[in-house]
Amino acid sequence: MTDNETDERIRPLKLDFARRIQSWLKHRAAPEKPKEEPETSIPQLAHNVLLDAVAERATDIHLDPEPEHLCVRFRIDGILRDVALIPRRHTAQFQGHIKSLVDIDPPPLLKPASGGTVYDLEGSEIHLRVTCTPSVQGEKISIRALDPKRIRYSLEELGLTSSQKEMIYDWLESMTGMVLVTGATGSGKTTSLYALLHELKLLNRSVVTIEDPVEYRVEGITQLQVNEARGITFSEGVKTMLRLDPDFLMVGEMRDIASAEAALSASSTGKVLLSSLHSRDAAGTVTALRNLNIEDFEITSALELVVSQRLIRRLCKDCKKEGRTPDKEVRWLESIGMKAPEQSWIGVGCDQCRGTGYSRRIGLFEVWRVDEDANQLILEHTDEKSLRRAIHESGVPTLLNDGLEKAAQGITSISELRRISSYGFGI
């Protein structure tokens, strides 16, 4: 690979790390030993990767093995970008160092392993969750980096409309049943759950959680961590939680039958339960619960509120502009039975957004208060499609409605809405 090809592939972020890596690659390209060894050590390089990742608001760092390199990629605003290539001769040492941070043995693994740590990044604590998997290309490592300072603790900032916020505050005051935050992986469910927990804390309620893993520590609430090796399963954890006499319980995620049963048993004691669940939209939540072996009558007796969500990129405020809606977006909207606006916003691309036209993300929401009519339909085992139609006919705006509203306000674009709609949207 020539330097030019390398430069093109890397498209360096402005930061220190990519520059240093590029300098390494230039040395590597020289036929004889480099005159000047880069002064950076492997631990310092790893530190720089993390510094860059946090500075760029990356949520995940991927280290992907390739024949000649280890490709470092950052997930920024939900999209993966190549940021650097580490030469093969440094790959094993680099991977080994990352693994040693979370107490995984540095030599190549025979089976997947994961671990977590709190990393001191120049005085601020970053939560790292490292997952390593052997693959035919070599060892793949992904690092989830959580910066507790970045979490938005207020419902206001998530992107909820004022009527959606009102529905949530109504529920907080009624203190009954189960609220589920639902969406696909990476849709911001955890952030919303923590924002809800924070609201509860402000109301001086007693809150106990069981999570796997505890992603953020919240002062003023009690958080239990699942630890199968020590016998703390979801169901044991729920029993412990109930003994602590809380007003609110949170089961981090209903991801399998055991955690779903644990959550249901907690809510059947009359306690208020919060949890998250993987589903496409509000109606899909009922299907997801049925798939976890929960009976229709159990769903109707527990489920009070569903906050379904999806993250969408925000237009860069420095380069967005309004113009005629592109034909492609008009055709897409018409194909799904929506009327296309004549004018809409697009992101042109500038230095501030690295030419992408977008910066940061915001939630699209569908907030569904499960009423008597809906309960009747669930008890009749109505299929998902009919239930979806009934929910929307009752006046609950869909994720798409919310997205179109945010596009009309210039918060996002119609093409971004089309991009995320390919993951299923509850239309």
Please give the residue ranges that form the binding site for Zn ion (CB under 5 A). 316, 318-319, 350, 352-353
Closest approach of Cβ 148 to Zn ion, in Å? 28
Cβ neighbours of residue 68 closer than 8 Å, sequence gap 6 or more = 1, 85, 87, 88
- Whether the CB-CB separation of 368 and 305 falls below 8 Å is answered with yes
Nearer to Zn ion, 46 or 76 (CB): 76
188-211 burial, b if ≥16 CB within 10 A, otherwise e? bbbbbbbbbbbbbbeeebebbbbb
Q: Find all residues with CB under 8 Å of 34, minimum gap 6, and list them.
A: 27, 28
Nearer to Zn ion, 91 or 412 (CB): 412
Decide if 182 contacts 285 (C-beta within 8 A): yes
Nearest distance in Å: CB 77, Zn ion: 12
Question: In the bound complex, what is the minimum distance in angstroms from residue 308's beta carbon to Zn ion?
Answer: 30
Nearer to Zn ion, 316 or 377 (CB): 316
| Shortest spacing between CB 294 and Zn ion, in angstroms | 45
Q: Which is nearer to Zn ion, 284 or 357 (CB)?
A: 357
Min dist. Cβ of residue 313 to Zn ion (A):
11
Q: Coil, helix or strand for 156?
A: helix
Nearer to Zn ion, 48 or 412 (CB): 412
Smallest separation, CB 280 to Zn ion (Å): 31
CA distance 6 to 10: 6
**In contact, 230 and 245? CB cutoff 8 Å:** no
Question: 3-class SS at 333?
Answer: helix
Question: Would you put residue 202 in left (φ > 0), alpha (ψ -120 to 50) or beta?
Answer: alpha
Instruction: List Cβ neighbours of 411 (8 Å cut-off, separation of 6 or more).
Output: 314, 315, 362
Closest contact distance (angstroms) between CB of 316 and Zn ion is 3
Q: Torsion angle of alpha carbons 183, 184, 186, 190, nearest 10°?
A: 30
Closer residue to Zn ion, CB minimum distance, 301 or 356: 356
